[in-house]
A and B are shown apart, each in its own frame.
Chain A
Amino acid sequence: MHHRHGAGDRRGCINLTGLDDGQSGIIVSVMGGEMLTKRLADLGITPGKELKLIRKTLFSGPVQVEVAGSKLVIGWGLASKIMVEVK
């Protein structure tokens, strides 16, 4: 468990999959193991960064996001661990 998601309870804070297509948010926290959070950090997904959800797929498939100026595909399960504050 991480201390990181403490901020996740703040108001207006939802997980990434709750964003609509085209909506942006600021990353608040990433809930996950050390390996995962580090891997995400290396791809530029860290708290404080702006993230834009480009599109989702059907049936809780992966989501496509734009963060740190590049496009990434993230599996649904993982996306639901990334908390964002809607802009």
Chain B
Amino acid sequence: MRDDNKINIVLAGQGNSGKSTIFNYLTGLHQHIGNWAGKTIEKAEGTLFYRDHMVDVLDLPGIYSLTTVSEEELISRSYIIKQNPDCVINVVDSTNLERSLIFTLQLLELERPVIIALNMTDLAKRKGITVDVKKLQKILNVPVIPTIASRGSGLTRLVDKAIDLKTGKPERTIHKYGKEIEQGIEELSDQLKGIDLPYPLRWIAIKLLEKDSDITARVSELKPRAVESSLRIMEELEEIHGHDSPLVIADERSLLASRITRETVRIAKDRELSLNERLEVLTTHKVTGYLFMILILGGMFLAVFSFGNRLSEWLDSIFSGWHDLWEAAVGTSFWPALGWSAIESVLALIQIAFPYILPFYILLYLLEDWGYIARISFLMDKLMHKMGIHGKACISFIIGLGCNVPGCLSCRIMESKRERFITAVLVTLVPCSAVSVIVFGLVGKYVGLLWALGLYIFATVLIFIVGKISSKLMIGEPVELIMPMPDYKTPNIKTIFSQTWDSLKEFIYIAAPIVIVSGVVIQGINLAGWMPAIASVMSPVTVNWLGLPAVTGILLIFGILRKELILVMLAAYLGTTDFNEVLTSQQMITLAVVSMFYVPCVATISVLWKEYGWKKALVITLAETAFAIVLAGLVKRGLDVFMV
């Protein structure tokens, strides 16, 4: 393909602007889309073929502003420069035009061709907001294209425009600051001439006046005189305006955004409140908000449990005759027995794990797509402060309920290193869906629903205590919460099912091979007669301290791979899912407690390693294992006394 048929696009925009939806639509790649800020944490790339062109699309992390000194921001800035895209598509939330424009103005200063995707125009319309597209286009002097990403509307026009832009030479309008600032920028740009940096001179000048540490450091190596001048200019600016130069610039930018919004946006007054707006009032109210939260989370718990149980029983009735059929067909010698254990493992996985994970993900994505998770952050912020973190951590906790791996990764939305680490440690204690399989499928089903609920409450209290302790141990000031509150939107069934499907697919692809191999290995060990030897090595812990059957020692080792293996392998090994035949109620609860808190699974450990280094990962792993064993032993002793 010829080079001029290649187009390179970068998608940039603030969190929750629908950027990822546009990316997915364009590239057909299934990437997780969330209704909260900064969900796209790692950049995503995709390619699309359109109108005889090969279009490369790069999705940048959601950013609030190109000046805030967060990691993501630096990454995005350097990508826009390094990638040198043919065009930057700035995805703008049309219901939040003013805030979005602050970012747009900064983006324009980078002097790359920009197209604005004025997204969520359907939502804006419903809220009575009309944006004068032509006028906005004229003021900013860049193409503005109204889009509804969730329905794919306007997206081909975006790409059309990007292709047109590449052939044409767009003119640029400079959006000027106040007189004194402009004089400063002019003087600095003059002195910066010839500097060997891949940025526009005007942009470098602005960054100097904004005290951008990265740019200041680089300029002071190449043109120290410009940095000196910038210091003098800033002093003059501070003299005139009475506050810091970066703030003078931020203020003026913010006021400019305000002015543009006033000129282009009309909001209809006296509209009737929509259902979502009424729900907003109820779910964030200081009293009813908490009641709703308890109802919603409790309802979710009950729904997952009752649906899971029913489906699990139904699957059991289907699979129950299969073993006899297998033996009748191929016999009962060593190899057929080993073969059966592979099949049995998969059946157990389907029967035990799948019924609980399926409804869990559907409900999780429903809440997420609706926008409820941000409300939990709002309601829980105060409590989170007691643990030295803030409300946003709830987002990571809730993702962690699905799987600890994305839960730990999402800790990057926390502002400081300290909070990120505390949140990650706490996320590893959140019972993930694999642990829930054990809690629901073992304790909930055979001991009682209240006991299962009790275990979740126990975990919550424990997370709170550990959070409290770690916030005391980790030095540093807690950061205050600042978080945009996305409006509720009507959940999109298609999005929910496609996200659920993606999670299930990942679960099946990753879990099934591990389950088959471990099932065969365990059965192999068993048939070879080595089981007692291995089990006895671990029996001081498993049998003497925890009061569990010796075989659980091996299961707990396999559980490091994936926690639901503990239950699945137990079923495969016993050849039955009627766990109450082999475990007492006390043993079930003890096993559930160990499974909940001991070693985070391999995948989580590797994420901790990657994010926080091997030392911290190792410490967390060992500490949690020791802690879980001690705790479960104590729980067992407690149960021996109180539960007869």
Contact surface of A with B, Cβ cutoff 8 Å: 2-4, 6, 34-49, 55-62, 64, 68-78
Assembly CA distance A69 to B285 (angstroms): 21
Contact surface of B with A, Cβ cutoff 8 Å: 64-65, 67-69, 95-99, 102-103, 211, 238, 242-244, 246-247, 250-251, 253-255, 257-258, 261, 265, 284-287, 289, 374, 377-379, 381-382, 385, 390-391, 480-485, 487
Assembly CA distance A39 to B67 (angstroms): 8
A-B contact pairs, 8 of them (CB 8 A): A38-B247, A39-B482, A61-B382, A68-B98, A69-B95, A69-B97, A70-B484, A75-B480
Which residues of B are found within 8 Å of A4, using beta-carbon distances? 242-243, 247
The answer to whether B481 touches A42, judged by C-beta atoms less than 8 angstroms apart, is no
The answer to whether A69 touches B482, judged by C-beta atoms less than 8 angstroms apart, is no
The answer to whether B483 touches A73, judged by C-beta atoms less than 8 angstroms apart, is yes
Q: A44-B258, A60-B382 are in contact. Are A72 and B482 (CB under 8 A)?
A: yes
The answer to whether B102 touches A77, judged by C-beta atoms less than 8 angstroms apart, is no
Assembly CA distance A69 to B254 (angstroms): 12
Which residue from A6, A37, A48, A55 sits with its C-beta under 8 Å from B286?
Answer: A55
Assembly CA distance A64 to B486 (angstroms): 12
The answer to whether A72 touches B484, judged by C-beta atoms less than 8 angstroms apart, is yes
Other A-B pairs, 4, CB within 8 Å; known A37-B250, A40-B482, A75-B482: A43-B484, A57-B286, A69-B99, A70-B98
Which residues of A are found within 8 Å of B238, using beta-carbon distances? 3
Assembly CA distance A71 to B482 (angstroms): 11
Assembly CA distance A64 to B390 (angstroms): 15
Assembly CA distance A23 to B598 (angstroms): 50
Which residue from A3, A42, A56 sits with its C-beta under 8 Å from B65?
Answer: A42
Assembly CA distance A64 to B102 (angstroms): 21
Which residues of A are found within 8 Å of B255, using beta-carbon distances? 46, 48
Q: A2-B243, A72-B482, A74-B481 are in contact. Are A44 and B286 (CB under 8 A)?
A: no
Which residues of A are found within 8 Å of B211, using beta-carbon distances? 34
Q: A61-B382, A69-B99, A75-B381 are in contact. Are A44 and B482 (CB under 8 A)?
A: no
The answer to whether A62 touches B378, judged by C-beta atoms less than 8 angstroms apart, is yes
The answer to whether A44 touches B99, judged by C-beta atoms less than 8 angstroms apart, is yes
Most A CB contacts (10 A, CB to CB) among B68, B265, B377 go to B68
Which residues of B are found within 8 Å of A56, using beta-carbon distances? 286
Nearest Cβ in chain A — how far from B254, in angstroms?
4
Which residue from B243, B254, B481, B482 sits with its C-beta under 8 Å from A49?
Answer: B254
Closest 9 CB pairs of A and B: A41-B250, A42-B65, A61-B382, A78-B480, A75-B480, A75-B481, A70-B96, A68-B98, A71-B485
The answer to whether A64 touches B99, judged by C-beta atoms less than 8 angstroms apart, is no
The answer to whether A46 touches B381, judged by C-beta atoms less than 8 angstroms apart, is no
- Residue on B nearest A35 in the bound complex, by CB: B69
Q: A58-B286, A61-B381 are in contact. Are A74 and B482 (CB under 8 A)?
A: yes
Assembly CA distance A4 to B242 (angstroms): 7
Which residue from A57, A69, A74 sits with its C-beta under 8 Å from B96?
Answer: A69
Q: A34-B247, A42-B67, A44-B98 are in contact. Are A78 and B481 (CB under 8 A)?
A: yes
Assembly CA distance A45 to B251 (angstroms): 9
Nearest Cβ in chain B — how far from A32, in angstroms?
9
The answer to whether A3 touches B242, judged by C-beta atoms less than 8 angstroms apart, is yes
The answer to whether B246 touches A34, judged by C-beta atoms less than 8 angstroms apart, is yes
Nearest Cβ in chain A — how far from B35, in angstroms?
14
- Residue on B nearest A58 in the bound complex, by CB: B286
The answer to whether B481 touches A62, judged by C-beta atoms less than 8 angstroms apart, is yes
Which residues of A are found within 8 Å of B261, using beta-carbon distances? 68-69
Most A CB contacts (10 A, CB to CB) among B67, B254, B377 go to B254
Assembly CA distance A63 to B67 (angstroms): 25
Nearest Cβ in chain B — how far from A61, in angstroms?
4
Assembly CA distance A4 to B248 (angstroms): 11
The answer to whether A57 touches B382, judged by C-beta atoms less than 8 angstroms apart, is yes
Which residues of B are found within 8 Å of A77, using beta-carbon distances? 480
Which residues of B are found within 8 Å of A40, using beta-carbon distances? 482
Nearest Cβ in chain A — how far from B438, in angstroms?
34
Which residues of A are found within 8 Å of B247, using beta-carbon distances? 4, 34, 37-38, 41
The answer to whether B258 touches A73, judged by C-beta atoms less than 8 angstroms apart, is no
- Residue on A nearest B96 in the bound complex, by CB: A70
Assembly CA distance A47 to B251 (angstroms): 8
Nearest Cβ in chain B — how far from A49, in angstroms?
7
Q: A44-B254, A61-B382 are in contact. Are A73 and B67 (CB under 8 A)?
A: no
Q: A61-B381, A68-B257 are in contact. Are A41 and B251 (CB under 8 A)?
A: yes
